[in-house]
Structure formats: C-alpha cells, structure tokens
Amino acid sequence: QQQVKQSPQSLIVQKGGISIINCAYENTAFDYFPWYQQFPGKGPALLIAIRPDVSEKKEGRFTISFNKSAKQFSLHIMDSQPGDSATYFCAVRSGSARQLTFGSGTQLTVLP
C-alpha cells in the first residue's frame, strides 16, 4: 500500500527555470509534510516543511504549496540552479514517534 505517490520520477530543467515536484497522500491523519534533499553519496537533509493548517510556505527559492482537500502538496524551486541537482523526497508524518513515510523520490537535473 503506497501511502505517498510522488511525481515525476525525474525532471530536467534549464538554469533559471522553475522545478515542480508533486506528492499525493491517502491518509488524512498525517500532520506534517516535509521535503528532503539528497545529494549522491549523502544522507537526506530537511529542505522545507509545512503543517496542514497552512496552504503555502516559502523559504528563499523554495516553496511548498499544500492542498488539504485534494490531499496533495508540491515543491516549487524558483530560479533553479545547477547546485540544486539532487534527489528530492516528499514525506508525511504520523505516529507517536513522528515516523516518516517517504515518496519514491524525484531526481532533478538543472542544466547550466
């Protein structure tokens, strides 16, 4: 049972363009929606996160848009840079230990 569906699997964007990655979830009990960024050979690192009582959160070039009724959230990277090339994972949180369930990941390549 896949609780989080992430798309696209891979994305190629020109430098300066906008990168958009989408996630859809099934369980309304999730209470926190982070995005993690992973560079090759490294562990994931928290990029940005949103709570379900907010529809949008922006940090620098990164924005999360959250649609509670549609059970979807997305990551927008404005003015994409080659240094943004990485794998991005959405996640949803639940449980007393704040366990995360991750999407399958999106490999982003930003061309110079």
Partner 1 sequence: NAGVTQTPKFRILKIGQSMTLQCAQDMNHNYMYWYRQDPGMGLKLIYYSVGAGITDKGEVPNGYNVSRSTTEDFPLRLELAAPSQTSVYFCASSHERWQGGTDTQYFGPGTRLTVL
Regarding 99 and contact with partner 1 (CB under 8 A), the answer is yes
Residue 6 CA, distance from chain mean position: 8
Nearest-angstrom CA–CA distance, 108 and 64: 16
Regarding 7 and contact with partner 1 (CB under 8 A), the answer is no
Which region, left, alpha or beta, applies to residue 71 given φ > 0 means left and ψ of -120 to 50 means alpha? left
Regarding 89 and contact with partner 1 (CB under 8 A), the answer is yes
Q: E strand or H helix at 73, and its extent? A: strand 72-77
| Residues in contact with partner 1, shown as a per-residue x/- string from 32 to 71 under the rule CB under 8 A | x-x------xxxxxx--x----------------------
Q: Give the phi and the psi of residue 84 in degrees, each rounded to 5.
A: -85, -10
Using CB under 8 A, which of 6, 63, 80, 85 touches partner 1? 6
Classified as helix, coil or strand, 61 is: coil
Whichever of 42 and 58 has its CB closer to partner 1, that residue is: 42
The residues that touch partner 1, with contacts defined as CB under 8 A, are: 4, 6, 9, 32, 34, 41-46, 49, 89, 93, 96-105
